[in-house]
């Protein structure tokens, strides 16, 4: 059973006709039978019978006309109600819905479609896609219309379109289905579109996360395998040492095993830390950048003092809103990193600043240490990536910083004029920005620790 254009099937049209015809036929038959019997019984005069028969005929026409009008009106009201409901239903659908004839001219569209193209249905009906969209897109639409007709079923496509209301670009998923009337003749192509921009974005983010996860697993499996090989191999050597009664070698080989297991423990601890960043969160609080930086400087005060690094805070103070210990970790790790890669600089300085342009606030941590080669600028944010085999740590600090920055919808990058020329880390934290920057002053690490610059 195929649905026709008006939404009624052949069967339901038949039923509607019978609902009018049957009561009429029943009433007419009863009228003929009963009225003739009544006339024969009541009237004897043949002349009067003739007159009454004529009147009876007129009466029949009047009464059946009234009956028909009642029956038909009832059907029409019911039909109108169904149609109005259907129209409301189509107009209530939040996705644009439209119907075009096989030549591409619009036959019908709903409110969402009107809003999407920014035109009323009067301006739409009878027009084609070439009147509503730019020709490139109209070409695509006319091609997919043709595909739907050729396939004889639903055809799906995705296009970037401009939303008339606000001029924004939206990725629309369109499903087109050829529509036929009761006799199977093609009426046109029915279309429905949905804005999938958000879904697509989420999908891409998911893919990105998936790729990151794969890289993560690769790194972990590779980097954890390394100490495992050491442990297994030196256990083998230990067996040989014991057989040979070589106490000196036993001590030496056990040292290798111990170092390897220490390394594994450190790696696992830091991995746990990275995975915790996303999950475990402290309740967000309002905090000032300067307090946060002071906290971070305090946490690495030992290393700063040891290398005699001067820490300077420049730029505006900024009010932040977020997980305090996590945010502090950003600066802590960056300062630690700066101290670690200071190299042999005579007058080591780490400068912490904020820069606000019209669009965003950029935080900076700048040092005059060994610098970073251009090719390493992406690599340093990876897991366990150390640029120097001799440096302590497992190379996880910057990966951790990147993860925290990303949690606050920010970006992080590094600039350096090359080896030996220092490096500057830049990052944004849109998700943690609460207010406008306040006043401007310079504070040294000493002042930071004593809090003498307070009162901002």
User: What is the contact surface with other proteins in residues (CB under 8 A)?
Assistant: 218, 222-223, 225-230, 232-237, 256, 259-260, 386-390
Distance separating alpha carbons of residues 273 and 251, to the nearest angstrom: 33
* Residue 304: closest CA among 369, 228, 356, 229: 369
Q: How far is the CB of 386 from other proteins (least distance, A)?
A: 5
DSSP strand pairing (106-109 vs 97-101): antiparallel
Closer CB to other proteins, 198 or 388, in the complex: 388
Distances (CA, A) of 148 to 113, 261, 369: 20, 64, 64
Q: How far is the CB of 214 from other proteins (least distance, A)?
A: 10
Rg (CA), the chain: 41
| Residue 383 · residue 395 · CB < 8 Å | yes
Distance separating alpha carbons of residues 183 and 67, to the nearest angstrom: 33
Closer CB to other proteins, 260 or 432, in the complex: 260
Closer CB to other proteins, 167 or 390, in the complex: 390
Closer CB to other proteins, 182 or 230, in the complex: 230
User: DSSP code of 365?
Assistant: E
Q: How far is the CB of 347 from other proteins (least distance, A)?
A: 25
Q: How far is the CB of 207 from other proteins (least distance, A)?
A: 18
Q: How far is CA 284 from the centre of its chain?
A: 24
Distance separating alpha carbons of residues 230 and 224, to the nearest angstrom: 10
Closer CB to other proteins, 191 or 369, in the complex: 369
Q: How far is the CB of 242 from other proteins (least distance, A)?
A: 14
| Residue 331 · residue 292 · CB < 8 Å | yes
Q: How far is CA 57 from the centre of its chain?
A: 75
Closer CB to other proteins, 140 or 259, in the complex: 259
| Residue 63 · residue 71 · CB < 8 Å | no
Q: Among the residues of 282-385, which ranges form H helices?
A: 289-299, 301-307, 324-340
Closer CB to other proteins, 51 or 229, in the complex: 229
Tokens 């026409």 map to which residue?
61
Q: How far is the CB of 217 from other proteins (least distance, A)?
A: 10
Partners of residue 161 on adjacent β-strands: 170
User: DSSP code of 456?
Assistant: -
Closer CB to other proteins, 97 or 257, in the complex: 257
* Residue 404: closest CA among 432, 376, 378: 432
Q: How far is the CB of 227 from other proteins (least distance, A)?
A: 8
Closer CB to other proteins, 221 or 357, in the complex: 221
| Residue 109 · residue 123 · CB < 8 Å | no
3-class state of residue 411 by DSSP = coil
Q: How far is the CB of 174 from other proteins (least distance, A)?
A: 38
Closer CB to other proteins, 70 or 387, in the complex: 387
Distance separating alpha carbons of residues 444 and 456, to the nearest angstrom: 15
**194 CB-near residues (< 8 Å, 6+ apart):** 95, 172, 173
Distance separating alpha carbons of residues 395 and 290, to the nearest angstrom: 27
Closer CB to other proteins, 383 or 412, in the complex: 383
Q: How far is the CB of 246 from other proteins (least distance, A)?
A: 13
Question: Taking the CA of residue 383 as centre, how many other CA atoms within 13 Å lie in the half-sphere pointing to its CB?
Answer: 22
| Residue 342 · residue 308 · CB < 8 Å | no
Q: How far is the CB of 203 from other proteins (least distance, A)?
A: 24
Q: How far is the CB of 269 from other proteins (least distance, A)?
A: 19
């Amino acid at each position: 059973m195929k649905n026709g254009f008006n939404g009624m099937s052949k069967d339901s049209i038949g039923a509607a006709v019978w609902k009018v015809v049957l009561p009429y036929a029943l009433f007419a038959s009863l009228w003929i039978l009963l009225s003739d019997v009544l006339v024969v019984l009541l009237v004897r005069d043949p002349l009067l019978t003739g007159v009454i028969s004529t009147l009876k005929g007129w009466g029949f026409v009047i009464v059946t006309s009234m009956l028909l009008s009642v029956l038909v009106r009832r059907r029409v009201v019911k039909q109108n109600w169904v149609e109005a409901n259907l129209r409301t239903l189509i107009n209530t659908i939040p996705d644009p819905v439209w119907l075009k004839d096989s030549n591409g001219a619009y036959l019908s569209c709903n409110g969402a479609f009107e809003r999407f193209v920014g035109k009323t249905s009067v301006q739409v009906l009878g027009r084609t896609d070439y009147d509503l969209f730019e020709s490139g897109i109209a070409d695509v639409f006319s091609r997919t219309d043709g595909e739907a007709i050729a396939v004889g079923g639903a055809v799906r496509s995705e296009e970037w379109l401009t939303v008339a209301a606000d001029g924004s670009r939206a990725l629309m998923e369109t499903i087109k289905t050829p529509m036929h009337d009761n006799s199977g003749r093609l009426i046109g192509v029915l279309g429905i579109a949905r804005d999938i921009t958000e879904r697509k974005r989420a999908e891409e983010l998911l893919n990105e996360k998936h790729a990151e996860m794969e890289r993560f697993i690769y790194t972990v499996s590779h980097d954890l395998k390394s100490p495992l090989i050491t442990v297994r191999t030196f256990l083998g050597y230990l067996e040989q040492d014991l057989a040979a009664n070589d106490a000196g070698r036993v001590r030496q080989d056990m040292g290798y095993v111990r170092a390897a297991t220490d390394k594994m423990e450190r790696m696992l601890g830091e991995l746990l830390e990275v995975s915790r960043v996303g999950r475990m969160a402290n309740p967000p609080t309002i905090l000032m950048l300067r307090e946060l930086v002071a906290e971070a400087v305090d946490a690495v005060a030992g290393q700063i003092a040891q290398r005699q690094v001067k820490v300077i805070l420049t730029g505006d103070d900024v009010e932040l809103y977020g997980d305090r210990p996590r945010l502090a970790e950003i600066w802590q790790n960056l300062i630690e990193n700066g101290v670690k890669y200071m190299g042999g600089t005579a007058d080591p300085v780490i400068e912490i600043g904020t820069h606000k342009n019209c669009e965003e606030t950029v935080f900076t941590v700048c040092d005059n240490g060994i610098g970073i080669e251009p090719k390493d600028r992406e690599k340093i944010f990876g897991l366990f990536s150390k640029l120097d085999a001799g440096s302590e740590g497992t190379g996880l600090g910057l990966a951790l910083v990147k993860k925290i920055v990303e949690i606050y919808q920010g970006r992080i990058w590094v600039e350096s004029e090359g080896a030996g020329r220092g490096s500057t880390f830049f990052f944004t934290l849109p998700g943690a920005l609460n207010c406008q920057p306040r006043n401007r002053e310079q504070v040294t690490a000493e002042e930071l620790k004593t809090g003498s610059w307070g009162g901002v």
